[in-house]
Each structure stands twice: as structure tokens, then as C-alpha cells.
Copies of this chain bind each other. A is one copy, B any other.
């Protein structure tokens, strides 16, 4: 069974927003055994939407559409769907009640356009949107299923999880898709590929291997497509074990989780705690860690000491160090890490100090210069990085490399 995703909205096509909905939906559909054939983003234009619907129905059994369901005039998805099906509109009572409830709860006046939110094409089965005023809509047309949802992420998420996936499971005999991902750090993809070339060549046609490189990391993903989930899992297990035997030194985790989550899990298993002192990464490393539920068993806290004054008062960096060596130096980052470890009372502390850019660079310390320190009980390890000119990327790379450095330390512990 094949699905396609269509996202509607000029804001995507002019690059004003990043389409995060599609990846989320694709991942949920995969979990349910549904392959996504294509993702298409089109503008809020009647003819373009009609073309995308027709093309999607040619290729797939199910279309999931998001966007264009708001109460304002630029939202035309509902009208265009009715035109595509050649039907008129009806008012849906459950939706109307939901709209009234939301406006009453927020003490906002109910306008005519809000009442119109409850109008749906006549051939529609309403999927009640408990998180908003625009209803989800399920259509069956010429043997295909077409589902329209609002583009607001948490409204779409509710509908996919609570309505769409359960209904698709009832409707179709779904086959199985099994992914197994290994995260490696500190090694290039072509090196990995060379090391495991014979294993890759021996894969059967229904199992694919993909390499996903990303800032110092490469994820190796085995994907199997077939009838039996158990059989696929067993087969993929055989190949992943062979790969692990070959390049296991570089494997950080055998699950599809982000690097910082692998670190958190490892530290938790060893009952170690962590604090963080950030300068140029400005809270990004703390954010990476604290986005994960349960992080508080490892993460004690952190500080963003942007100013030199805070580096002294919060972390105890010596004024002489700052004056003589500068904020971006091996000495300062060492004192930051050791100060965090001591003041915050954690087993390990990571400190990052660098020039994220675009300003602040000097000939000696150009933009992209970053020092990382990891302080533990017995020693503090430091490392100097020379990244490029882009601020966002320097922040990301500094945080990722700090995690890799800490991971190596923690892995090394008995």
C-alpha cells in the first residue's frame, strides 16, 4: 500500500517556513507499515492543487494533505477538494460545537468565518479535530482515500495518531517495514562503505543499506520490506551484527536516536551526572540535552556565560586568564569546565568557548575557532576546532563535537 503526502501553502514555496509536518507523518506511516512514495509541496492555487491531487491519485492509494484549511481567504483547500469531487457543502455539527467551545474558552467573539469552519464537502467523513477549529476530512473517491488536515503541527499530529493511522489499519492489510539504524561518529562514509562493501553486496533485494552523513556522524540504516515483521527483524539482525563486528569501534549506538540521547543513555546507565558551561553555543548544547524526557537523572544544569563577568562570577574563571589568554582559549575553557563541575556538583562538565561569528574574529582566532573542554574527576581533556564562517553551523558543530568528545571519555570508563 502506497501513500503520498501533499503540503499546501505558499509559505513553503517561498521558503518562509520549513515543512516539518511531512517528515513527522512519513515516520508515523512507516511505523504502521505504509510506504510514502512522494512528498509534494504546492502553492495555494486552485489549478495547482487540482493537478497535484490528480497526479497523486495516479501513483498512490492514499493521499495525506495538510494546509490551507484556515478561516482566512488565502485558505482554499476545502473549496478545491469539493470542486475535485464535484460536490457541494454541508455543515458538520460536531465541528461547529467544537468551534463554539474553543471560542468560548478563549473568550473570543465567534465570527461568521469561524462558523464556516464547520462546513465540509458533502462526501466527507469528518475526523474531529480536538486541538483546533479546522476539521480533519476523510474522502473516498474512485477507489482512493484522500485525507485533508490542518497544517498546524499539533492539530495534524493529533489527527494522524488518533484518527488517520487507526482507520488505515482497519482498511488495509498492511505489510511490514523494518528499519534498523546504527549511529557512527568520527569516521567518513566512504571509509565505512569500503570496510563493509562485501556485506552490502551480500544483501538480498528486499533489504537496502543507506548512509546518512551529518556533521561528524554517519548513520547506517538497513531497511527491509516484506510480509513478516519478525522475519525481517531476524534477517536485518544478521546483517547488522556483521556490520557491527566489522566497524563496531565507530558505532555510538545501535538504535535510531540522536547523538546526545545516546550520551544521556550511556551516562544514565553508568549513573553519571553532567553539567554544561556554554559560551558561543549559547544554550544550544543544554537544549539538545534537555529536549529529551528523563534527562534530569543525568543533567544537573548549565550556564550560558556570554559575558566575561559571568565566566568569573558563575564559573570562577580567573580574571588573569581572561586578560592574558582571552575568552576563547584552552586555559579559559578548562577553567570553565572545571568551575562548572565544581560549582554545579556533577561528575562531568563540558565547556565550549569560541567565535561563532559573523563578528568577533581576529587573525589569531578567526570566526570558527572553538575550544571544547571535558572535565572529569581526574583530568580535563581539551580540543581545538576550526570550523567555517556560518554562525548556525558553528554552533551546531561545536555542540556535536563536544558531545563526541564527552562520549569518548564516558565510553572509556570501566
Q: A residues touching B (Cβ–Cβ < 8 Å)?
A: 10-20, 22-30, 35-44, 48, 52, 55, 70-74, 106, 108-109, 111, 113-114, 131, 152-154, 157, 177, 179, 181, 188-191, 193-194, 200, 208-214, 219, 221, 223, 256, 276, 278, 281-287, 289-291, 293-296, 299-307, 309-310, 313-314, 343-345, 357-359, 388, 390-393, 395
26 contacts between A and B (CB under 8 A): A12-B23, A14-B179, A15-B23, A16-B23, A16-B219, A19-B19, A19-B22, A70-B190, A73-B193, A113-B190, A113-B193, A152-B213, A278-B283, A282-B289, A283-B284, A284-B287, A286-B286, A286-B304, A290-B306, A293-B358, A294-B359, A300-B307, A301-B306, A302-B304, A304-B304, A314-B344
Closest-by-CB residue of B relative to A275 is B310
A15 pairs with B38, CB closer than 8 A? no
A15 pairs with B19, CB closer than 8 A? no
**What residues of B have a CB within 8 angstroms of the CB of A388 in the complex?**
131, 154
A307 pairs with B296, CB closer than 8 A? yes
Closest-by-CB residue of B relative to A29 is B15
Closest 4 interchain pairs by CB? A282-B290, A283-B286, A15-B27, A15-B26
Given A291-B391, A306-B296, A345-B309, check contact A30 B15 (CB 8 Å): yes
Measured in the bound complex, the distance between the Cα atoms of B75 and A200 in whole Å is: 14
A39 pairs with B16, CB closer than 8 A? no
Closest approach, in angstroms, between the C-beta of A103 and any C-beta of chain B? 9
B300 pairs with A310, CB closer than 8 A? yes
**What residues of B have a CB within 8 angstroms of the CB of A357 in the complex?**
293
Closest approach, in angstroms, between the C-beta of A367 and any C-beta of chain B? 10
A10 pairs with B210, CB closer than 8 A? yes
Q: Which of B52, B212, B276, B344 contacts A11 (CB 8 A)?
A: B212
Measured in the bound complex, the distance between the Cα atoms of B189 and A106 in whole Å is: 14
Closest approach, in angstroms, between the C-beta of A314 and any C-beta of chain B? 7
Closest approach, in angstroms, between the C-beta of A104 and any C-beta of chain B? 14
